Amino acid sequence: MSLRRGSPLDGLRVTDAAWMRRALFHAGRAIGNTSPNPMVGAVVVSSDGLVVGEGRHHRAGEPHAEVHALDEAGAAARGATLYVTLEPCCHTGRTGPCTRRILDAGVVRVVAAMPDPNRLVSGRGFEQLRAHGVSVDIGLGRQQAERLNRGFLSVQSRGRPFVMLKAATSLDGCIAAAVGRRTNLTSTEANRRTHLLRASVDAIGVGSGTILVDDPLLTVRECHRVSRLARVVFDRRLRTPPHARLLSTVDHGPVIILTGETAATAAPARVRALEEAGAEVVPTPGDLRASLTLLVARGILTLLVEGGGALHDAFWAMGLVDEVHLVVAPVVLGSAGVPLMGGRPFPRAALDLTLVEPRGPDTWIEADVYRAR
């Protein structure tokens, strides 16, 4: 990494970049497990350049990354530098303030990737450290740290989860061979990648049409996930049947059915049957944006919207998609095929391509979405 002279990072030692990369690595090891908290990694380096402690935040309610790293360092933390991917907290929540722990350990310098946007911290952690003589540098590795915690940042700034749209299409841009027909498009290799993606988010979202046509399980398979995965059904008309296969998987995580208030009031027996099958039925008076706010209250920071076409179209039309995952299979479905999002194209100016790679015979494409929200 090169440091521009006169930048906020000017004067940092070149090795700082290596230590921050190590802290970011530890933060990333907790993907999918820390919500509603952010992912954070920390590394303690002694004055003679030795790593004496490192750690990550494992899950909400447990010690923060700084505490794990400082506990491992012990007395060797005195006079050391702490590299951390997020501003240390300075308030008491489920755990005590990390700033107090840093000061007590005798750390003389803190290098942090980014400030904490949480209003309870938001620069106060840095101020407290500086007020007690600790040197603080901010910004090294910020882009990577922000990308790791896009869900946390989305909730803090917009009050809604970070939304990923994922779809599989044919070469002619169709998601199914015909309306109401279950169509398997993707290969085993692409399906494995889908399960890895599921393992990285807090919740999967589908529409009621997907439940009726595909009857999916929506679980994580072929890879490990520590925390429970929420499944969200956007079902305005309350069409989800109590015998849906999804409801046989509540031991994997909650099943949340977001429905209209009118539909819930008109069908109390259906609501009871769904609840007895293990679902949480949540009437919502508003649109998709209001529904996403309800998910935040349930600790969901990231949502993977897997289908179907009508739900994809609704999310895109309302400007609620932050990232696109598109799997293109080498088949043509023809004129009877159901087009992705009703044929609505993704505006090229709205997409920043980040990945194109083969997955077996399929092509996996990822892009960030940039537009007014």
Residues serving a catalytic function are 66
Whether 260 contacts 237, CB under 8 Å: yes
Closest of 264, 212, 262, 256 to residue 234, by C-alpha: 256
Would you give the distance in Å from CA 213 to the centre of its chain? Answer: 27
Helix axes 65-73, 15-28, angle to 10 degrees: 120
Whether 237 contacts 337, CB under 8 Å: no
| Tokens linked to 150 | 């896009």
Would you give the distance in Å from CA 219 to the centre of its chain? Answer: 16
| Tokens linked to 257 | 């059915």
| Tokens linked to 33 | 């497990």
Place of tokens 């609704």: 314
Would you give the distance in Å from CA 160 to the centre of its chain? Answer: 11
Burial tier of 177 (Cβ tally within 10 Å: 0-12, 13-18, 19+):
middle
